[in-house]
């Protein structure tokens, strides 16, 4: 599908005309809600189980519906990437984060190991790194402050670094990092660069094209925007950089995950969830385009309001990483004469008056939903300091600053004027 455009790849990948003919003409890939594969003979079973043939065998080892989703996600993250790309899907975004990072933490005698990660990360990711890896496994975690320079990253990376990790845009302040520069310094140290690109999705950003080795997604967010299912994905270029791993892992990291950790530890995605996400991802770019347009309009409105102290949105010139966003975040579109910048659906703002005012504004929303979620067709708000990033705030780790009065808003597909009216009404009596 290399010659096709992004929208067409999203619509068609993973299911051909020939596949439809083999499935009674269905133009929608079937849901294989079954746990095991029937084999016509002992020889066929042995060939599948020995890896001589690519069969799915048992749903903990794979499933046709799951395989189709993996193909679609690899095609989207690998769009116009000059490398072979494959994907493995898992039960949740955090399962994907764990699968993408833990294989690099193998013990090699008494050799020390560290990981270098942006402090601007999701609360559960912070807990995995600081508690599961740092406290329980003794891995040194070197946190990098939000909006740090490349030199500050470089000062923490050495030959004992097992991976370099960043979330872009970072939740909840939407900061970005220089992916090509981080890729260069990670590779110089023999470490892979791992990027959580959940908020951007492949419609807005493809880090593999900028030098990243591995990308993780919580597919249950904007990729599966209805909110029906949880899912996660690990997408990797073939031949990743890692001095701590052998070729069985680095040649095809996603394939390694399917053959090993996912199979053995059971972090599998259900076929039903794979089916729902796969059908929702088909119009991903158009949704991201519409939601991003609304988010920019809302950000500009809030930025001009005397009732708002501060707005965080990478599409605003006031955002500290706006210049990076202009280089790295876009929607592939011919409608406007070529690729155009869209800055995503997530924004944050601080009402004048501190936390009490923020809580009052939050409680007055009538159109916007109050929940700990994002990327939905419905607009959703939360207060990260008391919800999604509570652990980060409590730990006050290495430069992670989440304002206590920040309201995070995930902009959906409602009419933007209705959302503006809701915000104006809620702010009016703050």
Q: How far is CA 426 from CA 65, 313, 349, 354, 377, in A?
A: 44, 20, 13, 15, 21
Low-confidence residues of the chain, pLDDT below 70? 1-2, 332-338, 390-400, 429-430
What is the rounded distance in angstroms from the CA atom of residue 101 to the CA atom of residue 167? 13
Please give the span between the terminal C-alpha atoms of the chain, in angstroms, as a whole number.
52
What is the rounded distance in angstroms from the CA atom of residue 404 to the CA atom of residue 96? 29
Instruction: Output the pLDDT for position 393.
Output: 61
For 137, phi and psi rounded to 5 degrees?
Answer: -110, -10
- Look at strands 308-312 and 232-237 and give their pairing: unpaired
Give the 3-state secondary structure percentages of the chain, helix then strand then coil, rounded to 5. Answer: 40, 15, 45
- 6-282 CATH choice from 3.30.1490.100, 3.40.640.10, 3.60.110.10, 1.10.1040.10: 3.40.640.10
Report DSSP letters for 174-226, one per residue: -----HHHHHHHHHHTT--EEEE-TTTHHHH--GGGGT-SEEEEETTTGGGTT
What's the half-sphere exposure (Cβ side, CA atoms, 13 Å) at 153? 26
Domain boundaries, the chain: 6-282, 284-428
Q: Which two tokens stand for residue 306?
A: 């005397």
Q: In this structure, which topology does domain 284-428 adopt according to CATH?
A: 3.90.1150
What is the rounded distance in angstroms from the CA atom of residue 418 to the CA atom of residue 179? 36
Cα radius of gyration rounded to whole Å, the chain: 22
What is the rounded distance in angstroms from the CA atom of residue 122 to the CA atom of residue 362? 21
Residues in the chain: 430
Instruction: Output the pLDDT for position 98.
Output: 97
What's the half-sphere exposure (Cβ side, CA atoms, 13 Å) at 88? 30
Instruction: Output the pLDDT for position 22.
Output: 92
What is the rounded distance in angstroms from the CA atom of residue 30 to the CA atom of residue 15? 10
C-beta separation of 35 from 29 below 8 A: no
Instruction: Output the pLDDT for position 336.
Output: 56
Q: Kindly report, residue by residue over 34-90, the tens digit of the pLDDT.
A: 999 999 999 999 998 887 887 888 888 889 999 999 999 999 999 989 999 999 999
C-beta separation of 95 from 267 below 8 A: yes
Instruction: Output the pLDDT for position 333.
Output: 57
Helix axes 416-428, 284-303, angle to 10 degrees: 30
């Amino acid at each position: 599908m290399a010659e096709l455009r992004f929208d067409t790849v999203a619509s068609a990948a993973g299911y051909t005309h020939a596949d439809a003919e083999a499935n009674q003409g269905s133009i929608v890939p079937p849901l294989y809600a079954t746990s095991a594969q029937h084999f016509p003979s002992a020889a066929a079973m042995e060939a599948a189980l020995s890896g001589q043939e690519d069969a799915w065998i048992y749903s903990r080892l794979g499933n046709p519906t799951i395989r189709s989703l993996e193909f679609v996600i690899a095609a989207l993250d690998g769009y116009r990437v000059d490398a072979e790309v494959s994907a493995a899907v898992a039960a949740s975004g955090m399962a994907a984060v764990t699968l993408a990072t833990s294989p690099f933490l193998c013990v090699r005698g008494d050799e020390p190991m560290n990981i270098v990660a942006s402090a601007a990360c999701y609360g559960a990711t912070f807990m995995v790194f600081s508690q599961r890896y740092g406290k329980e496994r003794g891995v040194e975690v070197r946190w990098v402050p939000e909006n740090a320079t490349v030199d500050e990253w470089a000062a923490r990376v050495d030959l004992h670094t097992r991976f370099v990790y960043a979330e872009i845009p970072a939740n909840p302040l939407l900061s970005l990092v220089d992916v090509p520069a981080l890729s260069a310094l990670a590779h110089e140290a023999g470490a892979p660069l791992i990027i959580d690109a959940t908020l951007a999705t492949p419609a807005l950003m493809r880090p593999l094209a900028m030098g990243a080795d591995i990308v993780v997604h919580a597919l249950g967010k904007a990729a599966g925007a209805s909110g029906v299912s949880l899912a996660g994905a690990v997408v990797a270029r073939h031949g990743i950089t890692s001095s701590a791993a052998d070729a069985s892992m680095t040649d095809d990291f996603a394939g390694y995950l399917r053959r090993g950790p996912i199979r053995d530890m059971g972090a599998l995605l259900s076929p039903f969830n794979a089916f729902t996400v796969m059908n929702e991802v088909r119009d991903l770019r158009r949704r991201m385009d519409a939601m991003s347009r609304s988010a920019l309009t809302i950000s500009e409105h809030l930025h001009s309001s005397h009732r708002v102290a501060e707005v965080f949105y990478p599409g605003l010139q006031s955002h500290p990483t706006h210049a990076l966003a202009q280089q790295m975040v876009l929607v592939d579109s011919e409608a406007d004469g070529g690729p155009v910048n869209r800055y995503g659906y997530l924004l944050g703002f601080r009402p004048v008056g501190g936390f009490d005012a923020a809580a009052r504004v939050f409680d007055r929303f009538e159109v916007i939903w109050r929940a700990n979620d994002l990327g939905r067709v419905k607009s959703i708000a939360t207060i990260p300091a008391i919800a999604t990033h509570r652990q980060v705030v409590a730990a006050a780790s290495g430069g992670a600053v989440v304002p206590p009065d920040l309201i995070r808003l995930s902009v959906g597909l409602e009419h933007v004027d209705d959302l503006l009216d809701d915000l104006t009404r809620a702010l009016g009596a703050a």
